[in-house]
Amino acid sequence: MRKPKKDSVVQEKTIEEMITEECISLESMLLIKNAAYNNSLHSEPPLFPIDKITGIQARINDKLNRIKQVGLTEETEDSVLDLIGYLIHLRIALKLNK
């Protein structure tokens, strides 16, 4: 079996190793943010009643709109991570809604 191609910028790591690192980093970020926000995406909103799935979809829409307006820059790098996180939360909400 051939080794996967390595990115020319990152010469020491395989794509598989980079995927693993990204997933571990994302897991850590999601758990920290979820605790910091007291599981707010999956809890009843305190002020305005809104379906959890709709609320997550609205946040996904906001992140996509920000990326569309600003483009993919260092300024929106956090928006990309947040977007990935919201997509994971959406999958969880859909599973919980079955």
For 3-46, the pLDDT digits (tens) are 555 555 546 999 999 999 999 999 999 999 999 999 999 998 88
Do 49 and 24 reside in the same domain of the chain? no
Would you state the pLDDT for residue 3? 56
Q: Domain span at residue 2?
A: 1-36
For 38-91, the pLDDT digits (tens) are 999 999 888 888 899 999 999 999 999 999 999 999 988 999 999 999 999 999
Would you state the pLDDT for residue 34? 95
Do 52 and 15 reside in the same domain of the chain? no
Between helix 77-97 and helix 52-70 the angle, nearest 10°, is 160
Alpha carbons 71 and 2: distance in angstroms, whole number: 36
More confident: 89 or 2: 89
Do 57 and 83 reside in the same domain of the chain? yes
